[in-house]
Structure 1
Amino acid sequence: MIIRIMGEGQYRASEALCDELNQIDNRIVALVAEGKTEEYRAELTKLISEIKERGEAVEAEEILESDIIVPPEDLSLEEAKDVFSGSGIFED
């Protein structure tokens, strides 16, 4: 799966990593719904860190369509309400 972090590039992620990212995504959805800003920001930072650390960076010269687009770390809670709702950005 190809994941794009807005403003930071693309990463290849294994199915196992995507399963773990989906769990973080589900927590983010719940935290956003509850209006827990600090906890939401911590989980979004964790999501992005996991992608960067465990995913394989795609070279800038390689043009690939992204399967999932992850917003930047500075996404506000209000903006997150539009992104992290329902099943979130990772489909169950």
Structure 2
Amino acid sequence: MIVRIMGEGQVRLDDSHLPGLNALDDELLHEMEHGDEAGFRRTLNALLDAVRSLGTPLPDDALEPSELILPEPGATLEEVRALLGEDGLFPADAPA
């Protein structure tokens, strides 16, 4: 799966990492629903750090379509809400 972090670039992420990333995504949704700004910031950074560490960066000149687009680290609650689908940033039916 190709994942883009806005403002940073793309990484290739093995589908085996999706269950753990979905858990962070669920936590992020919970914090957003409850207006927990500090928790939201912490979990968003943890999610992005996990994608960076588990994924393999693609070259800047790669023209791969992104299957998922994640917000930049400094994104606000409102900006992330605009990116969310029903299941969060990572779709529940993503391959596992």
Q: TM-score, normalised by structure 1?
A: 0.92
> How big is the shift at 1:79?
2.3
1:63 aligned onto 2:24: no
Residues 41-60 of structure 1 mapped to structure 2, 5 A cutoff: 41-60=41-60
Asked if 1 retains the 8 angstrom alpha-carbon contact of 2:85 and 2:91, the reply is: no
How many corresponding residue pairs? 92
Q: TM-score, normalised by structure 2?
A: 0.88
Matched residues in 2 for 1:76 and 1:29: separation?
A: 13
Distance 1:28 1:78, change over 3 A: same
Matched residues in 2 for 1:78 and 1:22: separation?
A: 20
Asked if 1 retains the 8 angstrom alpha-carbon contact of 2:22 and 2:90, the reply is: yes
Residues 1-92 of structure 1 mapped to structure 2, 5 A cutoff: 1-84=1-84, 86-92=86-92
Matched residues in 2 for 1:85 and 1:58: separation?
A: 25
Asked if 2 retains the 8 angstrom alpha-carbon contact of 1:31 and 1:39, the reply is: yes
Give unpaired runs (5+ residues) of structure 2.
Answer: none
Q: Percent identity?
A: 28
Give unpaired runs (5+ residues) of structure 1.
Answer: none
